[in-house]
Amino acid sequence: MHQISDQTKKWVEDQLEGKIKSTKPMPGGTSSQMSLLQIKTNQEALEEVVLREYTDTDWLEMEPTIAFQEAENLKEAEKVAMPTSVCLAVDGDATLTTWPSLLMSIVEGKVDLKPKDFDSWVDQLARALTVVHEINNPSIKHKYFRYFNSNQPVKAKWSALHNEWRAAFELLNKQNQPDFTPSFIHRDYHPTNVLFENGKVSGIVDWPNACLGPKEIDIGHCRWNLAMLFGQQAAEAFLEAYHRHNPSFSYDAYWDLEALGNVFTEERPEVYAGWETFGITNLTEEKLIRRLDEFLLNTLERM
């Protein structure tokens, strides 16, 4: 049940010098509790802010300073030439809150997974990512790391391509990453973290995983998401659009393999709840697995 403790509410009111008038759960959050708060300040103005509470204990065990990291990332993201949330306050140790918490400004717009003009929508997604990657001399220090161990024995019993998945991890284990210039990357760039208004990108949200790393990681992760949502052609259209907006950029197929490593699980893949929240209700586990295997084959053929 979505609930904000009195302790956390008091912290919010103290930070903003106001009174909470209403709270509403925000859609899409799966690893933290997101709330939209209406605050009446001492200046009698009614403001809307976003509260993120890190309630996933497994995540906190792996990354206990994640709230502080997101606060730092939001400051870096202010350099992006499009709207992002501004950090208003952080209690990363949950000293005065129930959970590690972050207060931030709201970004206007909505997630749009059913665009009227799909080609334009994909182009907007790609263009927005090139803008993120344009930040020069990022000041953050935390760096990209894999979410997987390439030495792990792979069974992939849910797939029709057991041997191909094993071969993929053998490649990841043997082949070095292609050379890259470390950039400021979102690290979880996909369509439910990009907001739209009137067919145009209005902002990018959800920055806790941002770091210094290969911009190819953002591209590969978004390609994988698009392939799962709409099929392989959508992933190819995204890469073509990124190239249009950054013609000098070269993308090695290796990075699609690394993207697959980061999302691989021995458990049967499940449909991401956020996709259903935003209206994609035609996905099944069987369709997801077929598309995942197709993405794998496409990657291996290109390597």
Per-residue pLDDT, 136: 87
Beta-bridged to residue 46, according to DSSP, are 40
Per-residue pLDDT, 296: 98
Per-residue pLDDT, 31: 81
Please report which helix (H) or strand (E) contains residue 89, including its range. strand 87-91
State how far the Cα of 162 lies from the Cα of 169, in Å rounded to an integer: 11
Per-residue pLDDT, 28: 67
Low-confidence ranges of the chain (pLDDT < 70): 1, 28
State how far the Cα of 278 lies from the Cα of 227, in Å rounded to an integer: 17
Tokens read off for 217? 């990681």
pLDDT per position as a tens digit, 149-207: 999 899 999 999 999 999 999 999 999 999 999 999 999 999 999 999 999 999 999 99
CB environment 120-138: b (16+ within 10 A), e (fewer):
ebbbbbbbbbbebbebeeb
Per-residue pLDDT, 27: 82
Look over the chain and give the mean of its residue pLDDT values, rounded to a whole number. 95
pLDDT per position as a tens digit, 102-116: 999 999 999 999 999
Domains defined for the chain, CATH in brackets: 6-105 (3.30.200.20), 118-302 (3.90.1200.10)
Backbone φ and ψ for 227, nearest 5 degrees, come out as -65, -40
Per-residue pLDDT, 2: 76
Helices (H) and strands (E) in the chain, counts: 10, 9
State how far the Cα of 50 lies from the Cα of 38, in Å rounded to an integer: 9
Residue among 282, 279, 287, 288 at smallest CA distance from 113: 279
The DSSP code for 243 is: H
Per-residue pLDDT, 1: 61
State how far the Cα of 152 lies from the Cα of 143, in Å rounded to an integer: 22
The helix/strand/coil state of 148 is coil
Per-residue pLDDT, 41: 83
Per-residue pLDDT, 244: 97
CA dist 231 to 139, 234, 240, 288, Å? 37, 6, 15, 9
Per-residue pLDDT, 42: 74
